[in-house]
Amino acid sequence: MRLLYFAWVRERVGVGEEEVTPPPEVTTVADLVAWLAAASERHAAAFAEPARLRAAVDQVFVPLEAPLAGAREVAIFPPVTGG
Amino acid sequence: MLVSPVAIDVAAELAAIERDGAVASFTGLVRGDDGVATLELEHYPGATEAALVRLAEAARARWSLTAATIVHRVGPMAPGERIVFVGTCAPHRGAALEACAYLIDRLKTDAPFWKRETVGGAARWVEARDGDDAAAARWQ
């Protein structure tokens, strides 16, 4: 699974993208965020507060409860601030 | 529908959509509030363009539009520069004005852009505003 990070999430993790293979019990975006938070200190700094995060699965915005089934690309980022 | 690294040419964008009786547009400029020296726009390439196309399609499904366009700057810019342009064209003003307001309200919450501003040499990510969610929600 390809992960993309944007804005301060990218800065805290230290990379804009990475390839991961989550365990089978990771079935939702929220599960993925919790799993990533345990990956390293940098990941913990980015993913410690899920309420401040938003996500897209295969380039479509989804709530954190959304399932990951079959997802190829998951993006995790702060609330958007365009316009 | 365009993500642009260069200045937005409003006259050219308007000329391109003047195809019916009513044209409405919105232009957003970078504000220099609180000593903001530069504003940088990050986005999610691919997903951004798809989100802008979906927004325009939703507007076309809701109003009878002859044309709809969205242009959003990315990269670094200075106060006073145009950051976003939304233009709509319809046979009559009601549809053009409403669709224009819809597009800019929804763009604020539905398109993956992030602003980072530099004030006094320090950079900070701009926080999302609750008012933007409320403005987008009125079109549900």
Of A6, A61, A79, the CB nearest to B42: A6
Residue of B27, B44, B52, B117 best to disrupt the A interface, most CBs of A under 10 A: B44
Q: What is the DSSP string of B12-47?
A: HHHHHH--SSEEEEEEEE---GGGEEEEEEEE-TTH
Residue B110: φ, ψ to 5°: -110, 0
Of A6, A59, A82, the CB nearest to B72: A82
pLDDT (average), residues B3-12: 96
**For residue B1, what pLDDT is reported?**
67
Quick check: ipTM above 0.90? yes
CA-based nearest residue in chain A for residue B43: A6
**Rounded-to-integer distance, Cα B105 and Cα B109, Å:** 7
**For residue B140, what pLDDT is reported?**
84
Interchain pair B113, A59: CB under 8 A: no
> Residue A83 falls within a domain, yes or no?
no
Provide the 3-class DSSP secondary structure of residue B86: strand
Which CATH number goes with the domain that contains A69?
A: 3.10.20.30
**Rounded-to-integer distance, Cα B27 and Cα B86, Å:** 7
Residue range B2-137 forms a domain whose CATH class is alpha beta
Domain ranges in chain B? Answer: 2-137
Interchain pair A82, B84: CB under 8 A: yes
> Residue A41 falls within a domain, yes or no?
yes
Per residue in B66-79, pLDDT tens? 999 999 999 999 99
Per residue in A19-50, pLDDT tens? 999 999 999 999 999 999 999 999 999 999 99
**Rounded-to-integer distance, Cα B81 and Cα B74, Å:** 12
> Residue A82 falls within a domain, yes or no?
no
Residue B30: alpha-carbon gap to chain centroid: 12
**For residue B33, what pLDDT is reported?**
87
Beta bridge partners of B36: B119
Tell me the one-letter amino acid at B29.
L
Beta bridge partners of B90: B22
User: How many interchain CB pairs under 8 A, A with B?
Assistant: 69
**Chain B residues with at least one Cβ partner in A under 8 Å:** 28, 41-44, 46-47, 50-51, 72, 83-84, 104, 107-116, 125-128, 132
- Residues with Cβ within 8 Å of residue A79, at least 6 apart in sequence: A52, A54, B127, B128
The domain of A38 spans 2-77
Number of domains in chain A: 1
